[in-house]
């Protein structure tokens, strides 16, 4: 199937590894021109054949705006934005102090808001704009011991749903893709760097395995495609069937 992504101009943030990198690679494979950002994006940018890259901290006040400006300059506009950032640190409500909440707010919610603010004028000029937020399956089923993520992802999901209605007249679709246990460094880190814990985590899933970054990216790439033009305001879980709710 031709996904209509050839020469589409895409920005993928936090893409030096993990899910962001897989999404960037997936878009490059479909012929899109992809700009990536991360704190250290150069090596990945060269490896995957990105059209350009920028080192920037998305949780900083000017990081998202600088990233959007440079992506638009290099690509000559923007059609697709995949909004991603690193995950906040784990912790229960009782072990999480206020500075950690503030940092998580900046990293997960404000980075998304700033990036959309900065890219929206460009996406409005596109024939088919696409915004995809990488969130977490915690929006359906909060995950124990990761309270900042549970709270902030819910806020991003509310933002996405609101945007989907507001931007529909501009032909911009807005969706979320929610991963559960896709094997990346983030999961290895949450497993304490212990391969045995990763193996146990995999055994607890319905499919008895973790997802791959490529499987996750396939969902994001589809939502960026021409065929997905009438899908907006949705959260697509990529969880191997792990969530128990019916929605
Ligand atoms: P990862 O740790 O493998 O990669 C994170 C990427 O974000 C890296 O490229 C890193 O350089 C970049 N990054 C981190 N902080 C940044 C910042 N301040 N500014 C710019 N770039 C920054 O993580 P991942 O597994 O690819 O996860 C991506 C997102 O999805 C995270 O927010 C994570 O919490 C979320 N998530 C992942 C899973 C999963 O199964 N892997 C599950 C739920 C949620």
Q: What is the pLDDT of residue 247?
A: 75
Q: How many angstroms separate the CA atoms of 145 and 123, rounded?
A: 37
Q: What is the pLDDT of residue 191?
A: 92
Find the 169 Cα to ligand 1 centroid distance in Å: 31
Q: What is the pLDDT of residue 95?
A: 98
Phi, psi for residue 83 in degrees, rounded to 5: -95, 110
Tell me how far CA of residue 167 lies from CA of 53, 54, 128, 161, 170, in angstroms: 27, 27, 11, 10, 5
pTM of the model: 0.98
In which residue are the tokens 């915690």 written?
Answer: 138
The side-by-side arrangement of strands in the sheet containing 130-134 is 52-55, 33-38, 9-12, 80-83, 130-134, 173-179, 235-238
Ligand 1 first shell, C-beta below 6 A: 14, 16-20, 38-39, 57-59, 84-87, 107, 134, 136, 149, 179-182, 184-187
CA-nearest residue, atom 2 of ligand 1: 186
CA-nearest residue, atom 16 of ligand 1: 86
Q: What is the pLDDT of residue 246?
A: 83
CA-nearest residue, atom 41 of ligand 1: 182
- Residue to substitute in 15, 16, 18, 103 for testing ligand 1 pocket (most ligand atoms within 8 angstroms of CB): 18
Find the 170 Cα to ligand 1 centroid distance in Å: 29
Q: What is the pLDDT of residue 44?
A: 98
- Residue to substitute in 90, 157, 186 for testing ligand 1 pocket (most ligand atoms within 8 angstroms of CB): 186
Q: What is the pLDDT of residue 209?
A: 98
CA-nearest residue, atom 9 of ligand 1: 16
Handedness of CA 70, 74, 78, 79 (dihedral sign): negative
Q: What is the pLDDT of residue 56?
A: 96
Three-class SS of the chain? CCCCCCCCEEEECCCCCHHHHHHHHHHHHCCCEEEEEECCCHHHHHHHCCCEEEECCCCCCCHHHHHHHHHHHHHCCCCEEEECCCCCCCECCCCCCHHHHHHHHHHHHHHHHHHHHHHHHHHHCCCCCEEEEECCHHHCCCCCCEHHHHHHHHHHHHHHHHHHHHHHHHCCEEEEEEECCECCHHHHHHCCCCHHHHHHHHHCCCCCCCECHHHHHHHHHHHHCHHHCCCCCCEEEECCCCCCCCC
Q: What residue ranges define each of the domains in the chain, with the CATH number in brackets?
A: 9-181+212-232 (3.40.50.720)
Regions of the chain with pLDDT less than 50: none
């Amino acid at each position: 199937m031709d996904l209509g992504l050839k020469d589409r101009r895409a920005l993928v943030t936090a893409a030096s590894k993990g899910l962001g990198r897989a999404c960037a690679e997936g878009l490059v494979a479909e012929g899109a021109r992809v700009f990536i950002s991360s704190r250290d994006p150069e090596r990945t940018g060269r490896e995957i054949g990105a059209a350009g890259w920028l080192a920037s901290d998305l949780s900083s006040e000017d990081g998202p705006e600088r990233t959007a400006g440079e992506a638009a300059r290099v690509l000559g506009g923007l059609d697709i934005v995949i909004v991603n950032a690193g995950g906040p640190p784990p912790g229960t409500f009782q072990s999480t102090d206020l500075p950690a909440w503030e940092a998580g707010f900046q990293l997960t919610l404000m980075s998304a808001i700033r990036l959309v603010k900065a890219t929206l004028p460009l996406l409005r000029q596109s024939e088919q704009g696409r915004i995809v937020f990488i969130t977490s399956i915690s929006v359906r089923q909060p995950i124990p011991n990761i309270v900042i993520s549970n709270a902030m992802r819910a806020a991003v999901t509310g933002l996405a749903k609101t945007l989907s209605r507001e931007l529909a007249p501009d032909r911009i679709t807005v969706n979320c893709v929610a991963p559960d246990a896709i094997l990346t460094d983030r999961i290895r880190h949450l497993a304490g760097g212990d391969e045995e814990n990763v193996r146990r985590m995999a055994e607890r899933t319905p499919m008895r395995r973790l997802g791959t970054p490529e499987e996750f990216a396939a969902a994001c790439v589809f939502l960026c495609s021409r065929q997905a033009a009438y899908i907006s305001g949705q959260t697509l879980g990529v969880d191997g069937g792990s969530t128990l709710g019916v929605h």
